[in-house]
Structure 1
Amino acid sequence: MLSDKLNEDRVAIVTGAGQGIGRAHALAFAADGAKVAVNDFDANAAHAVADEITAAGGQAIAVVSDVADWAAGAAMIDTVVSELGGLDIVVNNAGFVRDRMLVAMSEDEWDAVVRVHLKGHFVTLHHAAAYWRAQSKAGNQPVARIINTSSGAGLFGSVGQGNYVAAKAGITALTIQAAAELGGYGVTANAIAPSARTQMTMGAGDAMAAQMAAPADGSFDAMDPANISPLVVWLGSPESSGVTGRVFEVEGGKVTVIDGSQRSAEQDKGSRWAPGELGPVVEEILAKSPVPVPVYGAR
């Protein structure tokens, strides 16, 4: 009898899976038949989620490591392949915030956030891609999937989060790059920009906490982190083979394709412009172009 599960016996790594959206992803992949490597920097959290999966009849291991550490990233891939029998899906989710206005942000606050989000995505992606390339060259063409985690902040900006915004914007570009470079090895790469109730969003102030709170009347909880996972599970499956290099915003029951970095209106003189000519030209082409989405928190 054929299984109706899209990821039956596939192997997935979910980073930052000890809580919040990452935990929801890990549980959703396990429910869909995948074997799951639960990565987190917090050993207790990683083991708790892995134990939750195994108690429900699934297969999972905890992999405790710093996602931005190069050697640890290589070791994580080796451990997963050795203990779970391969690797098919990487969900890069780990991250945290250190919010501050740009004029007040310290070098350490900038470096820490960019390191975990952007470098952490690259480290895991790199070592997984090296494994898939080796498999492809050995004649075992992967059906592999990378799902990265950007943010609405990375797409549109967010006041007081310059480090996070830059890292998340970098992740979007990294996803497009990975899709272009890894397709020949049987790998697709996509990104999500989720909006859900997490430790990060609940700590973003009283107004945000109120907006994110679960409804008291038992109606649909649009901010439940589990709402994000169905798309991620689908993107991790063989069924998503025709989708790569794309970004999806996900909130509640709404999935939106984000079309960024597309050329819009233009005017070509055919020779070099003089600076004094360009005022009316810029005004004209901007008038013909889409208006940017407002930055979160801007007045």
Structure 2
Amino acid sequence: MDLTNPVDLSGKVAVVTGSGRGLGLAYARALAAAGAAVVVNDVDAGAVEAAVAGITAAGGRALGVVAAVGGTDAAEQLVARAVEGFGRLDVMVTNAGILRDRVLWKMTDDDFDSVVEVHLRGTFTCARAAAVRMRDQGEGGRLVLIASPAGQRGNFGQTNYAAAKAGIAAMARTWALELARAGVTVNAVVPVAATEMTKTIPAFAPLIEESERTGAPLPDRLRKDEGLGTVEDAAALITFLASDASAGVTGQAIGIGGDRLALWAHPQEKAVAFADGGWSPEEIAARWHDGVGAEPETYGIPAPKVPGTAEDGVAASRPAEVRAAASQAPEA
């Protein structure tokens, strides 16, 4: 490790899936700025071309792959492109994803399967292809898996997305165990940033639009209280986790957004009770509320604060398409 610059990525090669725009593009740019050669990926050929051109114009090295992440063929194509173009692979960032938000009783099989295919299966296939290459190289590596607050806490209208993102965090912990001897670290990143999706939240939209219009930073209450900032803010963690400075960091879920950096706790037993000979339904019912269930866990992403308004907290936190779905369903 270069002690003068522990996050220097010179000589390293990274793949970033779903990096034609948004958070993925910010990750690719940040890795390239730190010295890494980057393989950019997206389903949009124009976005890939523009991203590669932007990185190279800034003095970085980049190649592009137009492919839909999910299946094994696309994953192996990404790794092969890195090796053929730059000679090796050191970092895999699994960022590609799509949204198909609907409440449970309106979500179709295709809505569910398509999101799980890209997020969960795509993370699996890309990480597997990267792990094979990294183990063959014998010099360690970095798997950086992009998770979400929805996967940590659940979110209205996001059965498919929350399930996939929760699975990604679980895979990070599992792979951290499996790849430890190979020197490959595996971490899940839980980013929060001002994107096209967060613009649909009424509490955030005017502030994000004002920031974009004037170039002024988002207010402190968003950057600190909500942990919401720019996509570039979130990219700093990706660069750290790709670097030699993070050699001892693995199996973690780490949040970043705005001015906030956070370590998420892993699920664990919160309260325990015992009954000699085992539990009957009646005994559980009699002792639940004063025992194990006395302090139940909260669930759902906390609603953003809306100073000076009477905005409903739950509705404010829902993306526009989910609020529309809920408005058609009184049961919501």
Distance change (3 Å), C-alpha of 1:129 and 1:270:
farther
The amino acid across from 1:210 in the alignment is P
In structure 1, what is the equivalent of residue 277 of structure 2?
271
Distance across 2 between alignment mates of 1:290 and 1:28: 41
Cα distance, 1:79 vs structure 2: 1.6
SS in 2 for 1:81: helix
* Alignment of structure 1 residues 132-211 onto 2, 5 Å: 132-135=134-137, 141-202=138-199, 204-210=200-206
Distance across 1 between alignment mates of 2:210 and 2:126: 33
Distance across 1 between alignment mates of 2:189 and 2:296: 22
Among 22, 37, 44, the residue aligned to 1:35: 37
Distance change (3 Å), C-alpha of 1:224 and 1:230:
same
Distance change (3 Å), C-alpha of 1:31 and 1:290:
farther
- Cα deviations by residue, 1:192-237 (Å, 9 ceiling, x for unpaired): 11111223333x4544533543536654334311100111100111
| C-alpha contact 1:143 1:238 (8 A) present in aligned 2 | no
Distance across 1 between alignment mates of 2:287 and 2:252: 32
Query: What is the TM-score when the length of structure 1 is the normalising length?
Result: 0.91
Cα distance, 1:161 vs structure 2: 1.3
Among 285, 288, 292, the residue aligned to 1:285: 292
Cα distance, 1:188 vs structure 2: 0.6
Distance across 1 between alignment mates of 2:210 and 2:249: 32
Among 62, 65, 68, the residue aligned to 1:63: 65
The amino acid across from 2:145 in the alignment is N
In structure 2, what is the equivalent of residue 138 of structure 1?
none
Distance across 1 between alignment mates of 2:69 and 2:198: 21
SS in 2 for 1:99: coil
The amino acid across from 2:255 in the alignment is E
Cα distance, 1:280 vs structure 2: 3.7
- Where structure 2 has 5 or more consecutive residues not aligned to the other structure, the ranges are 224-228, 304-313, 316-332
- Cα deviations by residue, 1:226-282 (Å, 9 ceiling, x for unpaired): 100111100111110111111112110101111031122101224221211112433
Aligned length: 291
Among 123, 126, 146, the residue aligned to 2:125: 123
**Identity %, equivalent residues:** 37
Work out whether 1:87 is the aligned partner of 2:89.
yes
SS in 1 for 2:122: helix
The amino acid across from 1:94 in the alignment is A
Query: What is the TM-score when the length of structure 2 is the normalising length?
Result: 0.82
Worse overlay, 3-12 or 74-83:
3-12
Among 254, 257, 268, the residue aligned to 1:251: 257
- Where structure 1 has 5 or more consecutive residues not aligned to the other structure, the ranges are 136-140
The amino acid across from 1:261 in the alignment is P
Cα distance, 1:94 vs structure 2: 0.6
| C-alpha contact 1:11 1:84 (8 A) present in aligned 2 | yes
Among 5, 12, 15, the residue aligned to 2:14: 12
The amino acid across from 1:262 in the alignment is Q
SS in 1 for 2:106: coil
Distance across 2 between alignment mates of 1:83 and 1:89: 15
Cα distance, 1:162 vs structure 2: 1.1
| C-alpha contact 2:149 2:301 (8 A) present in aligned 1 | no
The amino acid across from 1:6 in the alignment is D
Distance change (3 Å), C-alpha of 1:214 and 1:82:
farther
| C-alpha contact 2:154 2:299 (8 A) present in aligned 1 | no
Among 76, 98, 101, the residue aligned to 1:99: 101
Work out whether 1:233 is the aligned partner of 2:230.
no
Distance across 2 between alignment mates of 1:217 and 1:107: 43
Distance across 2 between alignment mates of 1:208 and 1:108: 30
SS in 2 for 1:95: coil
